[in-house]
Amino acid sequence: MIEKMQRDQARTDRRRTMLIVIASIVIGLAIIAYPAIRLIQDSRAKNQAVSDFGVAASAASCDTPTNDDGGGTQDHRPDGEKIAYAVSPPSSGPHYAVWAPFDKKFYSMSDRPPVENLVHNLEHGYTLLWYRDTLPKKEIDQIEKLAKAKLPDGSANKFIAAPYKQSEGKGWPDGKNVAFAHWSAADAKGKSLGHRQFCGSVSGEALTNFIQKYPATDSQEPNGG
């Protein structure tokens, strides 16, 4: 009887060991496969135009772009100082002395720099796509793919997509989940304008139209970045 119990226990131990080994192999393969899948997805996105992502501009419920009073060129404030911008999201204004990295196109809430850093990017001709931080993951994933796609020539590759909390400024219009922002150059009278456009849905075509209307060369300091 004792020998039988020992044999049964040995079989149970072997079965448990096999299950642990199989589970470890499956988990290991998943860990290896995930970055590989992301690399494939990123590669595909890089070969697609921004306009291929999201809904058509006509279906994105986009408002007409606004013309905001611009200001704050080279007005650098100390890091950590909270700046109250006149419009939300900001399209110009005082900002921190350091801009967000030029080679990073997409941010989530976990790694996004302060708004004041990103406004500095606007000064150098960037177009910012702000999205509500409460958007469903599926739509945020779509924005991430869009951010890695081929940008229109007018962008000069100066583009960043980043989340925006409604508590960071004045509330957005109801039903608007995405906002584009750009800071144009000063005119002959020294007056500059910021521009914003709100959309209800993610639309690469609407973004392309906005960038073509307000290219990177039309900015306060187009040669920076």
Longest dimension (CA), the chain: 101
- At 103, phi and psi to the nearest 5? -95, 0
The encoded tokens of residue 100 equal: 């967000």
What is the CA 36 to chain-centroid distance, rounded?
22
Using pLDDT thresholds of 50, 70 and 90, give the confidence band for residue 102.
confident
Residue spans of the domains in the chain: they are 1-47, 50-213
Residue 143 in this model has a pLDDT that exceeds 60: yes
Neighbours of 50 (CB within 10 A): 25
Kindly tell me the sign of the dihedral angle through the C-alpha atoms of 205, 210, 214, 216: negative
pLDDT recorded at residue 79 = 95
Cα–Cα distance measured from residue 99 to residue 174, given in angstroms and rounded to the nearest whole number: 30
pLDDT recorded at residue 100 = 95
pLDDT top residue among 190 and 111: 111
| Each residue's pLDDT tens digit, 22-65 | 766 666 655 664 454 444 444 455 679 999 999 999 999 999 99
| Each residue's pLDDT tens digit, 5-26 | 666 566 666 777 776 767 666 6
pLDDT recorded at residue 43 = 46
Quick one: three-class SS letters along 122-167?
HHCCCEEEEEECCCCHHHHHHHHHHHCCECCHHHCCCEEEEEECHH
Q: How many CA atoms lie within 13 A of 129 on its CB side?
A: 34
pLDDT recorded at residue 47 = 73
pLDDT recorded at residue 14 = 73
Residue 191 in this model has a pLDDT that exceeds 70: yes
CA angle 87, 91, 97 (to 5 degrees): 110
The encoded tokens of residue 135 equal: 């958007």
pLDDT top residue among 47 and 69: 69
Tell me if 146 sits within 8 A of 201, measured CB to CB: no
Q: How many residues does the chain have?
A: 225
pLDDT recorded at residue 36 = 43
Q: What is the mean pLDDT of the chain?
A: 87
% of the chain residues with pLDDT over 70 = 81
pLDDT recorded at residue 13 = 62
pLDDT recorded at residue 40 = 46
Stretch 83-97: mean pLDDT: 96
Tell me if 203 sits within 8 A of 57, measured CB to CB: yes
